[in-house]
Structure 1
Amino acid sequence: MELKEINEKEVLTKLLNFTKTKGKSVIAELLLNKFGSLKQVVDAPKDDLYPIISEREVSLISFVKEFTAIYNHLKIKETEKIDCPQAVVDYLKAEMNGLKVEKIYAILLNSRNRLIKVFEVDEGTESRSAVYPRKIARLCLQHYAVSVILVHNHPGGSVKPSQNDILATEALTKALKTIESYLLDHIIIADNDYYSFKDSGLL
């Protein structure tokens, strides 16, 4: 199905049909009017949903988001290679959407760019950017990783790398070289957009 053929109200109504609430089409319309899109409904904080829908419906929407995250994790594990930014974004976006703080993830890869493991290595990059390069280097040694993809989110909505992001990338690149591993990419995720250091020629 092409994206333009998707009827978000119809999809949300079908989802709400799994509950016993009446007037599901009207509720779906109220949710879309308030949040703007199906994605924003799924990403909305629970407290913002409760005035419109019941706890059962909120739980159902939360489950859909969790299921999507798990599905993307399983899908990426079966992929031959993780060598493009979009694959990484698909893997982590459900988990990172709606976060109010910056979180840093390290995706460890083997010599064929296949997934070994994903670690959340830090939270709040501005004050601790000098710490996690050493931590990631240790993880690479422990898990025999050949390369790393660094991923973090920008809660503010802009994917433009900060000076701190650039310095942290340089620090991690140097740290990995000392153990004969390398940084394959550094990806910043914000809302529906992303920034790849590799694609931008910074790696």
Structure 2
Amino acid sequence: MAEGSYHHGNLRAALLERAEAVLTESGPAGLSLRGLARDLGVSHAAPARHFRDRQALLDALAVSGFTEFNRRLREAAEGSGGVELRLEELGRAYLGFAVERTALLHLMFAAKHEEQSSEELRQLGHQALEAASRLVAEAQRTGVVRPGDPVRLAQVAFSTVHGLALLAVGGLLDDTPLTEATALALQVLLDGLRPPG
């Protein structure tokens, strides 16, 4: 595609889209601004109009990933239906993103914890947990979830679905279909979150 065919910010979006594809195929080490320019058929200097260097590209990719991840989780947490159903949907939304966009999720969490990560990235990195902890607090008020710190309970819930996602993308579920493993994990998780007795 000719460089002139990218206009009104389309090149930035195309660079991010191609960067995620390269990330999935080759990992972060395979990403370079020059390589993306070559892949998109633009001059090697064109990406510099949008990203000052490779790190800026990686940060923008992480920001883009967190924005989509947070949107999916927020929609699940604030959706229609009872609080228990929304807790399940939240788990499914997390798993869906993690399985569909595994390489991006790894980059997002790695970037969030780097010392030079931007304030925007740090804030975006906390939004999913905040949405989950608000939903857990709502579930506590209705008696569906045990007492305790909603943030800690949300962290435990996220660790469960994140662990299942890692097993799924690592091919470690053997013959168990992901839908079956997801249903069982969410059932066990919700049973564990219920008040004792």
* Structure with a larger share of its residues in helix: 2
Q: TM-score, normalised by structure 1?
A: 0.33
More strand by share: 1
TM-score (norm 2): 0.33
Higher RCO (CA 8 Å, separation ≥ 6 residues): 2
